[in-house]
């Protein structure tokens, strides 16, 4: 009922529900008083020459079932929410039941989480049970954006490549999960220019990572890149304190190439990682953070072999 603008809708729904039940009961009373007609007890409708429709009253047991259905509905509406915004005498709600189930689950897991909270990320990464819990937390809360394999997609960071916008330590990951992040790349047209200036800056950015570029355009764009250095640094290696990406590592979050970089310069970009502290407890975030932390560590270890 929270979607309605005033209490009038609640009263309207309650009235329609009650009138409907009373009408059903009234129809049942009327039907119960019908008697077999004095003549041949037919309605006068005939099909296939001799198939006649009779006018027999409903069987008593059937009538009683209908009455019990109406009575059950009335009792149900008195106990549970159904009459508009009336909560019912039991005060039940789906939200309340969900919260109770969550509280029960948290209480059951509390001893285990208390044990994990005292462990470091390195120790948690070696605990198969802890990583199993972390994986389930990740799939339920993070996979919608970062993918079930945590490799992300365009606009959603890959969490397995050791390339971190805000820092990849266990503490920083916990901070990101708890508080969320908001990365804002403002349009830079006023500072960089338009047209050829943006093209030149795009090629200079590509040259920072030794990606394919036009050297002439890149040299022309280098002075204009000074406007970007405040966040990304003079060498383009980024700034994790600001969430400014490293432009020299060939990791492209929002697309690769001249057109993609030019679009970022012209239009800017706002990326939001929602805070999870209302959905997850600190203990859960501690385990989840360790799971995310070890994803990039495992990838780095494999790549170094």
CATH code, domain with 206? 1.10.760.10
Statement to judge: residues 269 and 282 lie in one domain: no
| The total number of structural domains that make up the chain | 3
Q: Is residue 97 part of a domain?
A: no
Domain residues for the domain of 158 are: 103-180+277-303
Could you tell me what percentage of the chain is helix, strand and coil, using 3-state DSSP and rounding each to the nearest 5?
55, 10, 35
What are the tokens at 70? 């109406």
Please tell me the predicted confidence (pLDDT) of residue 267.
Answer: 92
Are residues 194 and 56 located together in one domain of the fold? Answer: no
Whether 259 maps to a domain, the answer reads yes
* Residues 218, 282 within the same domain: no
* 38-42, 85-89, 192-196, 219-223: which is most confident: 219-223
Domain-embedded: residue 94:
no
Note whether residue 165 is domain-resident.
yes
Residue 281 and residue 266 share a domain: no
Residue 293 corresponds to which tokens in the numbers above? Answer: 């932390």
Q: Give the per-residue pLDDT at 34.
A: 67
Name, in order, each residue with C-beta under 8 angstroms of 156's C-beta and a sequence gap of 6 or more. Answer: 145, 146, 147
Residue range 114-122: mean pLDDT, rounded: 94
What integer pLDDT is reported at residue 2 of this predicted model? 53
In a shared domain, residues 171 and 288: yes
56 lies in the same domain as 118? no
The model's pLDDT over 93-106, given as tens digits with 9 standing for 90+, comes to 999 998 899 889 88
| Location of structure tokens 């990326």 | 271
Residue 17, in any domain of the structure = yes
- The answer on 188 and 176 residing in a single domain is no
18 Cα distance to chain centroid: 37
For residue range 225-277, list pLDDT tens digits in order: 999 999 999 999 999 999 999 999 989 999 889 999 999 999 999 999 999 99
Q: Please provide residue 271's backbone torsions phi and psi, each rounded to the nearest 5 degrees.
A: -115, 135
146 SS3 class: helix
Residue 171 falls inside a structural domain: yes
DSSP-H helix ranges across 162-281? 170-179, 189-192, 196-208, 215-221, 229-232, 258-267
Return the closest-CA partner of residue 292 out of 143, 144, 155, 186. 143
**Residue 1, domain member (yes or no):** no
Distance from C-alpha of 71 to C-alpha of 245, rounded to nearest angstrom: 66
* 168 and 25 both lie in a single domain: no
DSSP 189: H
| Residue found under tokens 């190439």 | 257
The two tokens of residue 302 are 């494999």
The answer to whether residues 265 and 271 touch, using CB atoms and an 8 Å cutoff, is: no
Answer with the residue of higher pLDDT: 33 or 290.
290
Taking the C-alpha atoms of residue 23 and residue 130, their distance in angstroms, rounded to an integer, is 59
Structure-block tokens of residue 111: 């001893």
Same-domain status, 20 and 72 = yes
In a shared domain, residues 22 and 157: no
Is residue 96 in a domain?
no
pTM: 0.70
DSSP secondary structure, 72-124, as one string = HHHHHHHHSS-STT---TT---HHHHHHHHHHHHHHHHHHHHHHHHTS-HHHH
* pLDDT score recorded for residue 304: 37
What band does 190 get if pLDDT is binned at 50, 70 and 90? confident
- 264 and 192 within one domain: yes
Q: Rounded to 5 degrees, what angle do the CA atoms 141, 143, 146 make?
A: 120
CB 223 within 8 A of CB 200: no
Domain co-membership, 154 together with 267: no
The H or E element containing residue 24 is: helix 7-32
* Tokens coding 31: 């039907």
**pLDDT tier, 4 (very low <50, low <70, confident <90, very high otherwise):** low
Residue located via tokens 């041949």:
40
Query: How many Cα neighbours within 13 Å face the side chain of 64?
Result: 3
Mean residue pLDDT across the chain: 88
Give the largest Cα separation in the chain, rounded: 107
Tens-place pLDDT, residues 22-49? 999 888 888 777 666 566 777 778 888 8
Q: What is the distance between the alpha carbons of residues 264 and 162, in angstroms, rounded to a whole number?
A: 23
């Amino acid at each position: 009922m929270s979607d309605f603008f005033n209490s009038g809708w609640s009263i309207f729904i309650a009235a329609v529900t009650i009138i409907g039940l009373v009408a059903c009961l009234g129809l049942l009373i009327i039907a119960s008083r019908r008697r077999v007609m004095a003549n041949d007890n037919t309605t006068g409708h005939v099909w296939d020459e001799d198939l006649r429709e009779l006018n027999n009253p409903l069987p008593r047991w059937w009538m009683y079932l209908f009455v019990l259905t109406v009575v059950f509905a009335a009792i149900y509406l008195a106990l549970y929410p159904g009459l508009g915004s009336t909560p019912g005498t039991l005060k039940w709600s789906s939200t309340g039941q969900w919260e109770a189930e969550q509280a029960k689950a948290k209480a059951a897991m509390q001893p285990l989480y208390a044990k994990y909270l005292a462990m470091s990320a390195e120790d948690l990464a070696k605990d198969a049970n802890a990583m199993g819990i972390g994986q389930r937390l990740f799939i339920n809360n993070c996979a919608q954006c970062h993918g079930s394999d945590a490799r992300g997609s365009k606009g959603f960071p890959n969490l397995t490549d050791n390339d971190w916008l805000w820092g990849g330590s266990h503490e920083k990951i916990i901070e990101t999960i708890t508080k969320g992040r908001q990365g804002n790349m403002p349009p830079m047209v006023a500072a960089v220019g338009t047209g050829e200036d943006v093209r030149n800056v795009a090629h200079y950015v590509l040259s920072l990572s030794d990606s394919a570029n036009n050297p002439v355009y890149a040299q022309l764009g280098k002075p204009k890149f000074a406007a970007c250095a405040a966040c990304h640094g003079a060498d383009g290696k980024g700034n994790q304190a600001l969430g400014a990406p490293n432009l020299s590592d060939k990791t492209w979050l929002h697309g690769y190439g001249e057109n993609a970089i030019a679009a970022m310069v012209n239009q800017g970009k706002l990326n939001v990682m929602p805070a999870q502290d209302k959905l997850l407890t600190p203990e859960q975030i501690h385990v989840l953070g360790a799971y995310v932390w070890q994803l990039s560590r495992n990838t780095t270890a494999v790549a170094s072999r």
